[in-house]
Amino acid sequence: MTNTLKLHDDRLFSSDPTQRAIARDLHAGVKDLPILSPHGHTDPRWFASNAPFGNPAELMLAPDHYIYRMLYSQGIRLEDLGVPSRAGAQDTDPHEAWRLFAANYQLFRGTPSRLWLDHTFATVFGLDVVLSADTADHYYETIDAALKKEAFRPRALFERFNIELIATTEGATDTLEHHHAIKASGWQGRVVSAYRPDAVVDPEHEAFQSSLDLFADMTGEDTRSWNGYLAAHRKRRAEFAAVGTTSSDHGHPTAMTADLSQADIDRLFASVIAGKATPAEADLFRGQMLTEMASMSLDDGFVLQIHPGAFRNHNTSLFNSHGRDKGADLPSATEYIRALRPLLNRFGNDPNLSIIVFTLDETSYSRELAPMAGHYPALKLGPAWWFHDSPEGMRRFREQTTETAGFYNTVGFNDDTRAFLSIPARHDVARRVDSAFLARLVAEHRLELDEAHELARALAYDLAKVAYKL
């Protein structure tokens, strides 16, 4: 038995007829705006080579931790889904992997993944029946045939999706070869990087010591001396800027920042490079480096993105077999008021600096983050990241931050994704949720309709463009 796949025109709008009518009007004004994707993790080689995408499982299952996390929770092995392990790509029949996914599609009912996937299936591939065990082969064959066409190559989809800019994320020791290839190709699509130096900033990263040595080789600096280490960061940031980068990106376990004396820095750095840093010293070093990155941002203009609070590699067995970013990173409680104070005391009053803070801890929205963003000129809030780039997560963010921080101390929608095809779907969800939220304010006479139209555009496009200096 098959069910019809149809995207309802009023999805995510209120059931109240007054609010629904206003939301329709607001959404109509923003639904076709260009997409800005300044915080993504897509693969730059897609746009450099413009080679056809692989099969449906390789494109839509293997890189999407939202999908395989759910399937893994129900006892389905990552190997059976074709998710690469430390040993490399799995010897898995992609058609069988897709059938396994389709047979378990009911697991995604009520989740944001279901919204994103159905949107992608309907609007990108023209499918009109719901994915299930019965329709798995029809889906696979339809998508597989489409991916062989010129119209479904990465650059063509980039243009079809009306993407104005997309950011990838590269580490401090990445060669940026794909970004250089994109620039040399003459293609006008704007693909930029974000500077993510975690592997050379986090003493607890499994590759920290080897990355320090590679960092030295790439920059010609002595990265085991404090001044040489900072100089290496400046050199790499300049190289990132040359390929269009406007931001750095820092995923630390906590939000700790520090502003140490030079003597204390020297003692701490000596412990770090010797591989003897305690967990407390590792956290302190990461905190000091956020302050150093902010200082560099005042020189090169990079936006400083901080998204703490992920307990990474929680599943040790899965980490050992499949490595990082395989769905076993979990949210943890995060404190911001005291943690960010050293950084904000030094730089928070400078309007020339832009610091964007994200969170995985929703309890901090109204208590900590909104009051800080509503005060410090340098600080802005990133409204949706990872577990909370969902309809309910977006609503809670607006409800808990707007009264204190307003709208203009947030930075628009950020689609934190490795799944390229879901980007339009994620922005569609964000634009609908924001239209619905604004519609309620208008219906309650807390906002004028013309103001709501201005805000809908700002939240969908303008705020991200300004915040990320695009």
Residue 131: what pLDDT? 98
Do 411 and 369 meet the contact criterion of CB atoms below 8 Å apart? no
Distances (CA, A) of 123 to 101, 223, 343: 20, 49, 44
Q: Residue 222: how many CB atoms within 10 A of its CB?
A: 13
Q: Which CATH number fits domain 53-150: 1.10.2020.10, 1.10.10.60, 1.10.3720.10, 3.40.50.1110?
A: 1.10.2020.10
CB burial of 272-285 (b: ≥16 within 10 Å; e: otherwise) equals bbeeebeeebbbbb
Closest CA to 320 of 200, 206, 171, 198: 206
Domain boundaries, the chain: 17-51+153-467, 53-150
d(CA 112, CA 118): 10
Helices (H), 162-261: 177-185, 198-201, 208-219, 226-241
d(CA 439, CA 422): 26
d(CA 328, CA 311): 8
Which pTM value belongs to this model? 0.95
d(CA 234, CA 212): 15
Residue 408: what pLDDT? 97
User: Hey, which residues does 379 pair with through a beta bridge?
Assistant: 355
- The architecture of the domain spanning 17-51+153-467 is Alpha-Beta Barrel (3.20)
Q: How far is CA 320 from the centre of its chain?
A: 24
Per-residue pLDDT of the chain (470 residues; tens, 9 = 90+): 689 999 999 999 999 999 999 999 999 999 999 999 998 888 999 999 999 999 999 999 988 888 999 999 999 999 999 998 888 766 899 999 999 999 999 999 999 999 999 999 999 999 999 999 999 999 999 999 999 999 999 999 999 999 999 999 999 999 999 999 999 999 999 999 999 999 999 999 999 999 999 999 999 999 999 999 999 999 999 999 999 999 999 999 999 999 999 999 999 999 999 999 999 999 999 999 999 999 999 999 999 999 999 898 899 999 899 888 887 888 999 999 999 999 999 999 999 999 999 999 999 999 999 999 999 999 999 976 777 889 999 999 999 999 999 999 999 998 888 889 999 999 999 999 999 999 999 999 999 999 999 999 999 999 999 999 99
Residue 429: CB partners within 8 Å, gap ≥ 6? 12, 112, 115, 116, 119, 390, 391, 394
d(CA 396, CA 398): 5
- Going by their DSSP bridges, the two strands 310-311 and 35-37 should be labelled as unpaired
Closest CA to 94 of 43, 147, 155, 40: 147
CA dihedral sign of residues 366, 369, 372, 373: negative
